[in-house]
Chains A and B, each alone.
Chain A
Amino acid sequence: MARRKRPKLAVWKFASCDGCQLSVLDLEDELLDIAGALDIAYFKEATSVEKPGPFDLSLVEGSVTTSHDAERIREVRKQSKALVTIGACATAGGIQALRNFKDVKEFVSVVYASPEYIQTLATSTAIADHVPVDFELRGCPVNKEQLLEVISAFLHGRKPNVASHSVCVECKLRGNVCVMVTGTPCLGPITHAGCGALCPSYQRGCYGCYGPMEAPNTTSLVRAFRQAGSSTVDVVRVLRTFNANAPAFRKESEAQEKGEEESQ
């Protein structure tokens, strides 16, 4: 049997911390198999080799924060048969999307000695806000087993087994005692599964690293937090982390702030 031509893989970085790309490298046991199954054509975090496109599979990390990035992602899309975004930055804008709630010009003038050299957009946005995306893998950072599952699924032309229900399902599969019901606010009910309920397994409330689940009822959960004693500041803080700009989290944090202003 003639050896099938290996599909070409590219891994791209936009505004991000590189943590998700490191999850690829963190697949230590499978890395050789990945390199055997795929032709790693572009992956700056791992190799200086640069092969030209087109690519069969592009993994994209990071959000769009500059007009240059907005251009570049269109080019990546053009060159890619399948484009999969990885991580909270690429799927929701990341922690850097906190700028979306503030005045970026003001930040720039405070932080930089010569603000005139800084060219940046007013917002940090998800890749899917700019180009069509074939699959979004969530998490901050992504779960390496899920990443492997997405790559395997792509290689064999099947749907990835990546559930979009709540973290609570994973939490119950592990047999955890629910921290929310025993007294600690937890974002699990509205958060997309993927981490295996890591924090609740250590008696911490979920921080929402994987962003909103498939049918998030943020308003109801936040009401429960408030009834249990959380302040406006508390709930705005928990909603504004890595997935602050995901619509289901953003809308509620803005509504909470608005409610606070009106009550003053």
Chain B
Amino acid sequence: MSGHERAILSVEGLGSLLQAIRQEGYQLVGPTVRDGAIVHAEISGIGDLPAGWTEEQEAGTYRLRRRDDGALFGYSLGPQSWKQLFFVPRMRLFQARRKDGTFVVDAEAPKPPRLALIGARSCDLHAIEVQDRTFLKGQFVDPDYAARREGVFVVAVNCGQAGGTCFCVSMKTGPRVTQWFDLALTELLDGAHRFVVEVGSERGAEVLAKLALQPADEGDCRTADEVVERTASSMGRKFETEGITELLYRNLEHPQWDKGAERCTSCANCTLVCPTCFCASVEDVTDLSGNTAERWRRWDSCFTLDHSYVHGGSVRSATRSRYRQWLVHKVASWIDQFGTSGCVGCGRCITWCPVGIDLTEEVAAIRATDGKKEP
């Protein structure tokens, strides 16, 4: 099979496909149920997938729910994207030891496993591309990110339902998977439980060739397209992006920022769940003897006071200025900086904000009262 030909895969066939990918030497990372949510973890096969689970999402709430059709990808998005696999939350950059009146530096030599992402959605694939710009395609390459990212195999899924806080249609990032995948699945639940699989790369074709598959007939292809269309027309949120940079730049003193800041706890959850946020902090530590020192990198956020600390204090000392920085950077100045929005419309910052702040509502409120002093 080649190009955009599509084949039909049974549930058992999907199991065989996952094993075939494993046999190629990949470690499978995919969705599984843990602690009341669907998370991304190492899986060994289809038995670990969240069969018959879905979720309800709204601003500040997430509830796992049962569904009666046994769907394996019948949820939208969990709390995690794939970010922690490549841009790891915490890592040692190097260790230095005192030796014979001088010191030696032991750099870290990452030997990460080759990963296969199972069930990646279009918005999250766009987010990986956004992070690649920062870590791989800028002036400097992050060696750890590069080593982990290298050769990742992607089994994408076209979303069968939109989450309550999804707005990929507004951000033009989904729900149909169009690039950066090796194989893409659409789960069909009418009649026999099956998948339409589409090939996105040479590698994908090679793995698929190991299974003797029937090409998908016109009817199955149409059903698959309808699934995605239905998802596209049932987005939980809408986000008007027309002229967004100018809109926000000319409304930096809009009273809506005060309203948001009055609610915001500056807890940083929105940035930590965001699949595109890339900020980290670097810490040096010494042991008691002073004979070894280590440098560590860990996720940071524009919501912490340390993030904008220069000698004498934090530049953004008020919650309002940190909150505004996050939102304006994410959806507006990111475009000036990287040529793309920092938001892929996954809705995680809305769902996982403990006080339910919704950036689509916040920007809409500013748009509705553009340039006015009182909303």
Contact = CB atoms under 8 A, between A and B. Distances in A.
Contacts of A161: 283-285
A174 to B, nearest CB: 8
Interface stretch (B142-150, B188-196, B287-295): B287-295
Given A215-B305, A223-B263, 10 more contacts: A33-B288, A153-B286, A155-B288, A156-B290, A165-B306, A168-B272, A182-B61, A182-B62, A203-B35, A214-B305
A255 interface: no
A182 B288 contact: no
Interface in A15-40: 30, 33-34, 37
B299 A37 contact: no
Nearest to B273: A172
B265 interface: yes
Contacts of A224: 60, 354-356
Select the residue from A151, A174, A224 with max chain B CB neighbours within 10 A: A224
Contact of B266 (A163, A166, A183, A188): A166
Interface residues of A, number: 43
A181 B60 contact: yes
Contacts of A30: 288
Interface string A180-212: 111100101110000000000001000000000
Interface in A108-153: 148-149, 151-153
Contact of A152 (B36, B90, B288, B301): B288
B252 interface: no
Given A178-B354, A220-B265, A37 B289 contact: yes
B84 interface: yes
Nearest to B283: A161
Interface of A: 30, 33-34, 37, 148-149, 151-153, 155-156, 158, 161, 163-166, 168-169, 172-178, 180-183, 186, 188-190, 203, 214-217, 220-221, 223-224
B277 to A, nearest CB: 11
Contacts of A149: 285
11 contacts: A30-B288, A153-B286, A163-B306, A165-B304, A176-B35, A182-B37, A182-B61, A182-B64, A183-B36, A188-B354, A214-B304
Contact of A155 (B265, B290, B301): B290
Contact of A151 (B79, B262, B288): B288
Nearest to B88: A173
B89 A173 contact: yes
Nearest to A38: B288
B269 A168 contact: yes
Contact of B289 (A33, A169, A188, A220): A33
Contacts of B300: 169
Contacts of A169: 267-268, 272, 299-301, 304
A151 B266 CA distance: 29
Contacts of B283: 161
B266 A217 contact: yes
A183 B303 CA distance: 24
A177 B354 CA distance: 12
Interface string B64-105: 100000000000000110001000011000000000000000
Contact of B265 (A151, A152, A164, A217): A217
A178 B64 CA distance: 13
Interface in B298-318: 298-301, 303-306
B304 A175 contact: no
A168 B286 CA distance: 26
Nearest to B79: A177
Contacts of A221: 265, 354-355
B299 A164 contact: no
A258 B284 CA distance: 46
B302 to A, nearest CB: 11
- Identify the 9 closest CB pairs spanning chains A and B, nearest first: A189-B267, A172-B272, A189-B265, A165-B304, A177-B37, A168-B267, A177-B35, A166-B267, A217-B265
B122 interface: no
Contacts of B61: 181-183
Contacts of A152: 285-288
B253 to A, nearest CB: 21
B352 interface: yes
B269 A178 contact: yes
Contact of B267 (A158, A164, A177, A188): A188
A180 to B, nearest CB: 5
B123 interface: no
A220 B263 CA distance: 5
Contacts of B268: 165-166, 168-169, 172
The residue in A148, A163, A190, A216 that gathers the most chain B C-beta atoms within 10 A of its C-beta is: A163
Nearest to B305: A214
Contact of B351 (A163, A181, A214, A223): A181
Q: Choose among B63, B265, B298 the residue with the greatest number of A CB atoms under 10 Å from its CB.
A: B265
Contacts of A214: 304-305
A15 B265 CA distance: 32
Given A165-B303, A182-B37, A224-B354, A189 B269 contact: yes
B354 A217 contact: no
B264 interface: yes
Contacts of A217: 263-266, 319
B34 interface: yes
A163 B288 CA distance: 20
Contacts of A155: 288, 290
A182 B317 CA distance: 31
Contact of A182 (B36, B262, B265, B298): B36
B17 interface: no
